[in-house]
Amino acid sequence: MKPFVTLTAIAAPVEIAKIDTGMILPGRYMRQHRRPGHDYSEAFLHDLRFDEKEQPRAEFSLNQQAYVGCEILVTDADFGCGSSREGAAYAVLDFGLRALIGPSFGDIFYANCLQNGILPIVLPYEAIHSLWRQLRQTPGSTITIDLPEQSVTAPDGSVFKFDINALRKQRLVEGVDDIDVTLGYLSAIEAFETTRRGSMPWLPTSE
């Protein structure tokens, strides 16, 4: 997992509430095997980005030239609500986003983002509306996120502080997930298994 320390990047506003995981990753794309060179980048918010004829919706921010290459999305309430599909977090990551800023997120989606190196930041509505206004006024503006300082610096220089679980913060900064943490105890696990097999030879092994 790629570490997250600081990020200065183009931010795009998506002012739509209750974008659920089925909108983030439409179900028809879940049948596709995700692999290098064939990921979920096309699927991300597909039915918001494209119309029924597969033509880009010109009014949608992510289809506008100023936001090409954005790595931060400023969302509305309950982004990622709905089903628990982890693929929704993969779609966010595959589209190139490293951070999401919004007033609230679906709980499971929030956890899945953290587990995959995406930083979801919760800020008050007043801060979100301020960011939206600035991004609309100057499309292509950048936002700076400093995870160690737990701060978001808006295009106009104003700073907003955010909360995050200390353990999740540490893992993001170090770029480790649950599997990485478990592998850190590999020698102890192997030693335990060796001792167990010696003292309880009748137990089945995983080999």
Task: Kindly report, residue by residue over 155-178, the tens digit of the pLDDT.
Answer: 999 999 999 999 999 999 999 877
Contact status, residue 111 vs residue 85, Cβ threshold 8 Å: no
Which residue is it, tokens 């850190």?
A: 184
- Give the integer Cα–Cα distance in Å for 199 and 195: 6
Tens of pLDDT, residues 38-49: 799 999 999 999
The mean pLDDT of 139-145, rounded to a whole number, is: 98
- Per-residue HEC secondary structure of 32-76 comes to CCCECCECCCCCCCHHHHECCCCCECCCCHHHCHHHCCCCEEECC
Nearest to 161 by CA among 175, 147, 178: 147
- Give the integer Cα–Cα distance in Å for 28 and 35: 16
Tens of pLDDT, residues 54-105: 999 999 999 999 999 999 999 999 999 999 999 999 999 999 999 999 999 9
Q: Which pLDDT score is estimated for 35? A: 73
pLDDT category at 205 given cuts 50, 70, 90 is low
Does the structural domain 6-175 have CATH classification 3.30.70.1230?
Answer: no
Q: Which pLDDT score is estimated for 185? A: 66
The model carries a pTM of: 0.88
The mean pLDDT of 123-130, rounded to a whole number, is: 98
Q: Which pLDDT score is estimated for 196? A: 73
Q: Which pLDDT score is estimated for 150? A: 98
Q: Give the contacts of 166 (CB within 8 A, at least 6 positions apart).
A: none
pLDDT category at 207 given cuts 50, 70, 90 is low
- Give the integer Cα–Cα distance in Å for 175 and 105: 22
Q: Which pLDDT score is estimated for 66? A: 97
Which sequence spans correspond to the domains of the chain?
A: 6-175
